[in-house]
Amino acid sequence: MEQHFNHQRKLSKYRNPLLIMHTENDGLIDITHAERNHKWAGSAQKRLLRFPVGNHNTILGMNLKEYLAAVGDFVDAI
């Protein structure tokens, strides 16, 4: 099972651009997971975007403008 879920090993090898978006109030997956994944990622071009409002299911709807802008900027950069 470790080979399938060893995110640190997999992310440390990842070298492509990376955008991680997460809400600070996610009751399903704590934001520390996003912070840890960002830290582990081997990419030189990585960004962790934290949203102060919304949760796991409402991140897009409650942050629509900022969310879409971040995705647009990310796509434009790659």
What 3-state DSSP class applies to 46?
strand
End-to-end CA distance of the chain: 33
* Helix (H) or strand (E) run with residue 48 in it: strand 46-51
What's the token pair of residue 65?
């403008």
Low-confidence winner among 3-7, 27-31, 74-78 (lowest mean pLDDT) = 3-7
Domain ranges for the chain: 2-77
Instruction: Tell whether the model's pLDDT for residue 68 goes beyond 60.
Output: yes
Residue-wise pLDDT for 13-32, tens only, equals 999 999 999 999 999 999 99
Residue 59 is predicted with a pLDDT of 97
Which residues make beta-bridge pairs with 50? Answer: 22
Query: Stretch 29-50: mean pLDDT, rounded?
Result: 97
What's the whole-model pTM score? 0.88
Q: What is the CA radius of gyration of the chain?
A: 13
